[in-house]
Amino acid sequence: MAARIQANANSNQALLLGRYEIGKLLGHGTFAKVYLARNVKTNESVAIKVIDKEKILKGGLIAHIKREISILRRVRHPNIVQLFEVMATKAKIYFVMEYVRGGELFNKVAKGRLKEEVARKYFQQLISAVSFCHARGVFHRDLKPENLLLDENGDLKVSDFGLSAVSDQIRQDGLFHTFCGTPAYVAPEVLARKGYDAAKVDIWSCGVILFVLMAGYLPFNDQNIMAMYKKIYKGEFRCPRWFSPELVRLLWRLLDTNPETRGTMPQIMENKWFKKGFKHIKFFIEDDKVFSFETEGQLDDADSSSDQSLSESEPEMETRRRITSLPRPASLNAFDIISFSPGFNLSGLFEEGGEEGARIVSGAPVSKIISKLEEIAKLVSFTVRKKDYRVSLEGSREGAKGPLTIAAEIFELTPKLVVVEVKKKGGDQGEYEEFCSKELKPGLQMLTQEEPEIVATASSQSLPEHSHLFSATSDTE
């Protein structure tokens, strides 16, 4: 018995922060090592990047690490390696990330050129991910096959955002000035050291990657690095005979040495060679994980009606049928309520909180609230997803920052009163605020007006023992 207890104690000590069982070393760099690990609760495989705090402090890289975390949380997409969580001890920082089993795309290309349809698929997924980043003001700046991973389904995942930049780093001249990237994939304007548009630099790198996938070798290459830089600067490359005329025209647009006339993301996505067999990826985030599905081609107005049918899929129809038998919503305590409002005034609990969200108190039944959210969603052709007392509203149109995605969660305030908390999960902030003010807020407020007696009773009689807590509290959010 004593031996068994000791074995269990040793096992617990071996777990990273009590959750992750560390496995083999996957790779290492100057400041970090990456290990395969297993979440002992879910049995899920993850990759854990272990960063030495002392080394990054000495290297002055604290701001760099913080920026990388911020970027990875901002760019959650099916074709981007996902950051699940960040943990820290006194000596180490741990990035818990998605484990991508297929390895680097570089290993596949090293064996020789790819078939055109395979190369096109990878390029389409690369462009989908990079354009998503650009719409969120994130620029990778080190795109190359070594930083593109393949999962078990053969889908591409962009990784290593260590050299990435965000739009708020741009100088007054509107350009970036940091010299970075991998020599063979770097754009000519970076070599010129006169400032560059980081979006156009990423597009150049995508062009080099496409050439490598199709040819099996680099468009600009020389044993002498200065000679290679001269070729890049002049844009000197030759396409092999097996490249189709459409592909050659696309490459000349991508590898245009003038960033002003170089192809843009929308132009790439409209290109005939690119569009062949293109599958538009739609995705949603649930329980902090990315789930995706594909639709043929680009979405347009006609697609919104077919998208709407997604809200009536079998699992969700089952949710609708059993809504009255679901467990009660999570309860809120007095301190939750304090963080919601500066005073216990039910009419003022719906507050516009920008990215932080908005809230409304209602005496309506939960089933009615969910039905009202579905009704509001249908008015603007949004897809609805439901899981217990969480409802996700997803726009079908690609805005400047991706489709608008809104999450609504219902909490129990009292047995007869609930709080509906609404947050933006993706998309443009202006579009979100307009939707809240014109559609969501009026619809939910109309619902509360249908239950005047319950709301009045709750405001005057509920939680008397906590009433003193709400008289002079400040909003903690």
Q: Cα(369)–Cα(455) distance, rounded to whole angstroms?
A: 14
| Residue 140 CB neighbours (<10 A) | 29
Q: What is the CA radius of gyration of the chain?
A: 26
CA distances from 257 to 73, 144, 269, 444 (A): 33, 18, 20, 54
Q: Which of 134, 125, 187 is nearest to 165 (CA)?
A: 134
Please confirm, yes or no, whether 142 is among the known catalytic residues: yes
Q: Cα(148)–Cα(27) distance, rounded to whole angstroms?
A: 15
CA distances from 429 to 304, 320, 355, 357, 381 (A): 21, 30, 7, 11, 19
Q: 245 Cβ partners below 8 Å, 6+ apart?
A: none
Q: Which of 280, 281, 289, 279 is nearest to 392 (CA)?
A: 289
| Residue 462 CB neighbours (<10 A) | 16
How does 424-454 read in b/e, with b if 16+ C-beta sit within 10 Å?
Answer: bbbbbeebbeebbeebbbeebeebbeebeeb
Q: Cα(399)–Cα(406) distance, rounded to whole angstroms?
A: 14
Joined tokens for residue 445: 């407020």
Tokens 């090592």 sit on residue: 33
Q: What are phi and psi of 203, to 5 degrees?
A: -65, -40
Q: 378 Cβ partners below 8 Å, 6+ apart?
A: 308
Q: Cα(108)–Cα(111) distance, rounded to whole angstroms?
A: 6
Q: Which of 305, 268, 315 is nearest to 381 (CA)?
A: 305
Q: Is 49 annotated as a binding-site member?
A: yes
In residues, how long is the chain?
477
Q: Which of 142, 256, 303, 428 is catalytic?
A: 142
Given the DSSP bridges, would you call strands 405-414 and 417-426 parallel, antiparallel or unpaired? antiparallel
Q: Cα(251)–Cα(263) distance, rounded to whole angstroms?
A: 9
State the maximum Cα–Cα separation within the chain, in Å, rounded to a whole number.
82
User: DSSP assignment, residue 364?
Assistant: S
Q: Which residues are catalytic?
A: 142
Which residues carry a binding-site annotation?
A: 49
Residues at the binding site for ATP are 49
